[in-house]
Structure 1
Amino acid sequence: MAAERRARSRTTPTRPAAESATRRVEASAAATRELDRLIHERVRLGIVSALAAAPVLSFAELKRLLEVSDGNLSVHARKLEEAGYVACSKGFEGRTPRTEYRLTAAGRRALTAYLDHMSALVRAAQPDSKR
């Protein structure tokens, strides 16, 4: 009997531990609901992150950095532009067309909020001893 109780106590979480785990799951779920789905996609997150680090990047620079096709980059950049997260300007360098992108204030706020939510997810996923 004593061996059964010891085995059960090792496998059954204590009430405070179970409540702590429940709080972490709830915090994780809440943070997930708050994620900006527009930024969460890999290419769009790459665009916004790159533009947060550099004030202006050309289409060619973003394409090289993110290792995506012209069409893929165009579609994702357009979605960010429509949301007001990036600004696009088109011009010429000599006779060569040049498209440049900048992160807008709204885009910077959206990225900051996204990173805050991701940090909350990471904290919620860590055991209490890691916090």
Structure 2
Amino acid sequence: MSTPSGFDELIHPSTRLSVVALLAATEWADFPFIRDSLSLSDSALSKQLHTLEEAGYLEIRKEGGGRKRRTKVRLTSRGRTAFEGHVAALRAIVEGAGPAAAAGPAPEAAGATAPVTQQRQHHAKAGR
């Protein structure tokens, strides 16, 4: 199966996907809110934010100064488009797997039960 259009390798790692999903639900988010919501360390979150910012997916704004300095983050329109495309690609992957699973057991699985059935029949005949 080929990778669907819109699948984004940059967003796909679970931490980045979680960051982008959280930001997709809001206009701006404070750094501590993102950090605490995703149970990340400051350094781990900073690294992920930097990677996403370099790709043009995030805008990071620093406000205030000294101890009152706040970091705010938001998805750019490019980041929102990438996230929506990635979610659509993930849905296509999941839905593509659905019909095969609903059709019943794979031929290998059906074949794996045949010897057991044959053994039971053999034992039943031998016991007569």
In the superposition, the TM-score normalised over structure 1's length comes to 0.71
- Which range moves more in the overlay, 38-47 or 100-109? 38-47
Deviations 1:43-83 (A, max 9, x none): 11111111110111011000011100000000000000000
Aligned to 1:127, the other structure's residue is in SS state helix
For 1:58, give the aligned amino acid.
Answer: D
Aligned mates of 1:77, 1:107 — CA distance in 2: 12
Normalized per residue, the structure richer in helix is 1
Query: Corresponding residue for 1:82?
Result: 54
Deviations 1:88-112 (A, max 9, x none): 0001278411000011000010001
Query: Corresponding residue for 2:72?
Result: 100
Matching of residue 30 in structure 1 with residue 31 in structure 2? no
Query: Corresponding residue for 1:43?
Result: 15
Q: 1:129 to 1:73 in 2, by over 3 A?
A: closer
Gapped regions of structure 2 (runs ≥ 5): 103-128
Matching of residue 69 in structure 1 with residue 41 in structure 2? yes
Identity %: 36
Matching of residue 120 in structure 1 with residue 101 in structure 2? no
Query: What is the CA RMSD across the aligned residues, in angstroms?
Result: 2.0
- Which range moves more in the overlay, 104-113 or 89-98? 89-98
Aligned to 1:38, the other structure's residue is in SS state coil
